[in-house]
């Protein structure tokens, strides 16, 4: 099996694991820990996602590009590794300061300081995991095997040791075990497979890497911004019922997005290395076909899916889900026309800037909705997401078309 196929298969399995484990884990936790304690866990996991974006700082996009472009000797990889460690060390200091500021200024979580202290170690471990290395070397199957194994171990430990509301800190220790175990195994694999080590790097090199990664970071941060702002505004301007409907539909939309994430991640370094657009066009055709079929399924059977997962009360969210089904098709095109299509022809700035522009556009749209006096409901906010996804895809497609014409 080629490295591209192995990476796609491996990442697909990882994504399935990422979604299946919570489906097995969360229903159990809600029953043994209760609503309030489960809310604390959900809050900590959302903060962890925010922390991951900051500590990643676009390095998981920029560093694989460097490796795939030829910086793949043992010494050069060690230099890149050292630069990433230095950058992530300072990013983690900033991240932890933000993390504790959020926790200790919120009176609702003062009784859970021990648990959040434990979770800070999870953030540190996750911050140093060198995902970029396995992406750049097109050997993500190593990463996938480790993540799947540690997640399954944590699932088993939760079933065995988390039994009551008094076991919140036990859950925290289990997450620490998972994060540190993943980090240590992946670092040992990196040492064994690529012989990486800490080497001397000049400050200017670290500064240059940080500066270039900033553009990638702004892209990811903007994507997170225009995703999270929607729910925040809906909660501020509408009813909890609308928030619940929107959140239920959005979770299914995000799950649909993740179906194509393995393809996107695996083909990115492959395209940088080979520029095989003949294969790329075939991938886009198949991905769009699958997206359209999935969207039609969501439109016609969305109410049944919502009832099956969330209960009869959420059937009313089917109209919001139908809007998100439009977004999933556009998002599939926009994602593949991003880094995999644009980086090989030297247009990574367009991929980054498209999301930044969409983030600013989302703010303008939401402000317009708010100040126009329009009734804010989940369906309206979902349409704003469609508009943002369409803007991203349009900018990237136009940039790709112009870039390919210049290549001829």
For residue 157, name the pLDDT band (cuts at 50, 70, 90): very high
Say what the pLDDT of residue 326 is. 93
pLDDT at 96 > cutoff 90 = yes
Cβ-based neighbours of 286, under 8 Å, separated by 6 or more? none
pLDDT at 1 > cutoff 60 = no
Cα separation, 24 vs 26, in Å, equals: 6
pLDDT at 164 > cutoff 60 = yes
Q: At what angle do helices 3-56 and 261-274 cross, to 10 degrees?
A: 110
Q: Which of 136-145, 195-204, 234-243 has the lowest mean pLDDT?
A: 234-243
**What does the pLDDT look like over 275-297, one tens digit per residue?**
888 888 988 999 999 999 999 99
What is the CB neighbour count within 10 angstroms for residue 71?
Answer: 15
Percent residues over pLDDT 90 in the chain = 24
Say what the pLDDT of residue 324 is. 93
Say what the pLDDT of residue 395 is. 94
pLDDT at 177 > cutoff 90 = yes
Cα separation, 382 vs 88, in Å, equals: 35
Whether the Cβ atoms of residue 175 and residue 154 lie closer than 8 Å to each other: yes
**What does the pLDDT look like over 116-134, one tens digit per residue?**
899 899 999 999 999 888 8
Say what the pLDDT of residue 23 is. 60
Question: Cα angle vertex 371, ends 370, 372, to 5°?
Answer: 95
Q: What is the largest CA-CA distance in the chain?
A: 66
Whether the Cβ atoms of residue 55 and residue 123 lie closer than 8 Å to each other: yes
Cα separation, 324 vs 327, in Å, equals: 5
Cα separation, 342 vs 323, in Å, equals: 28
For residue 398, name the pLDDT band (cuts at 50, 70, 90): very high
**What does the pLDDT look like over 41-76, one tens digit per residue?**
766 776 787 788 888 888 888 888 888 887 778 888
Burial readout 392-401 (b: 16 or more C-beta within 10 A, e: otherwise): bbbbbeebbe
Between 10 and 333, name the one with better pLDDT.
333
Say what the pLDDT of residue 394 is. 94
Say what the pLDDT of residue 345 is. 85
Q: Which of 34-38, 77-81, 98-102, 303-307 has the lowest mean pLDDT?
A: 34-38
1-9 average pLDDT score: 61
13-42 average pLDDT score: 66
Between 350 and 264, name the one with better pLDDT.
350
**What does the pLDDT look like over 191-231, one tens digit per residue?**
988 888 888 889 998 999 999 888 778 766 766 666 666 76
Cα separation, 116 vs 172, in Å, equals: 8
**What does the pLDDT look like over 301-325, one tens digit per residue?**
988 887 777 667 678 889 989 999 9
99-105 average pLDDT score: 81
Cα separation, 207 vs 101, in Å, equals: 27
Torsion of CA 29, 320, 15, 359, to 10 degrees: -110
Say what the pLDDT of residue 81 is. 92
pLDDT at 232 > cutoff 60 = no
């Amino acid at each position: 099996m080629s490295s591209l196929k192995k990476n796609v298969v491996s990442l697909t399995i990882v994504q399935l694991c990422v979604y299946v484990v919570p489906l097995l884990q969360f229903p159990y936790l809600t029953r043994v820990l209760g609503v309030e304690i489960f809310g604390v866990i959900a809050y900590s996991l959302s903060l962890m996602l925010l922390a991951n974006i900051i500590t990643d700082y676009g390095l998981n996009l920029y560093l694989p590009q460097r490796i795939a472009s030829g910086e793949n000797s043992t010494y050069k990889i060690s230099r890149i590794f050292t630069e990433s460690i230095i950058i992530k060390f300072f990013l983690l200091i900033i991240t932890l300061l933000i993390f504790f500021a959020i926790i200790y200024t919120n009176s609702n979580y003062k009784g859970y300081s021990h648990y959040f202290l434990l979770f800070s170690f999870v953030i540190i471990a996750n911050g140093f995991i060198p995902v970029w290395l396995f992406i750049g070397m097109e050997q993500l199957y190593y990463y996938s095997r480790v993540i799947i194994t540690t997640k399954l171990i944590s699932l088993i430990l939760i079933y065995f040791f988390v039994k009551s509301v008094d076991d919140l800190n036990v859950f925290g220790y289990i997450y620490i075990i998972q994060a540190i175990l993943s980090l240590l195994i992946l670092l040992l694999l990196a040492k064994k497979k690529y012989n990486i080590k800490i080497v001397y790097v000049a400050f200017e090199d670290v500064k240059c890497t940080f500066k270039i990664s900033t553009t990638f970071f702004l892209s990811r941060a903007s994507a997170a911004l225009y995703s999270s702002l929607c729910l925040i505004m809906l909660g501020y301007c509408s009813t909890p019922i609308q928030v619940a409907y929107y959140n239920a539909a959005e979770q299914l939309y995000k799950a649909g997005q993740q179906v194509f994430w393995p393809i996107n991640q695996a083909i990115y370094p492959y395209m940088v290395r080979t520029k095989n657009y003949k294969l790329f066009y075939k991938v886009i055709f198949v991905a769009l076909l699958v997206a359209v079929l999935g969207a039609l399924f969501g439109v016609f059977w969305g109410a049944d899916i919502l009832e099956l997962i969330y209960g009869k009360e959420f059937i009313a969210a089917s109209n919001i889900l139908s809007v998100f089904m439009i977004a999933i098709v556009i998002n599939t095109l926009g994602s593949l026309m991003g880094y995999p299509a644009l980086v090989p022809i030297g247009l990574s700035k367009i991929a980054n800037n498209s999301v930044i522009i969409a983030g600013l556009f989302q703010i303008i749209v939401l402000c317009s909705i708010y100040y126009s006096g329009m009734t804010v409901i989940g369906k309206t906010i979902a349409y704003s997401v469609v508009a943002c996804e369409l803007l991203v895809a349009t900018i990237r497609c136009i940039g790709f078309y112009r870039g390919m014409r210049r290549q001829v």
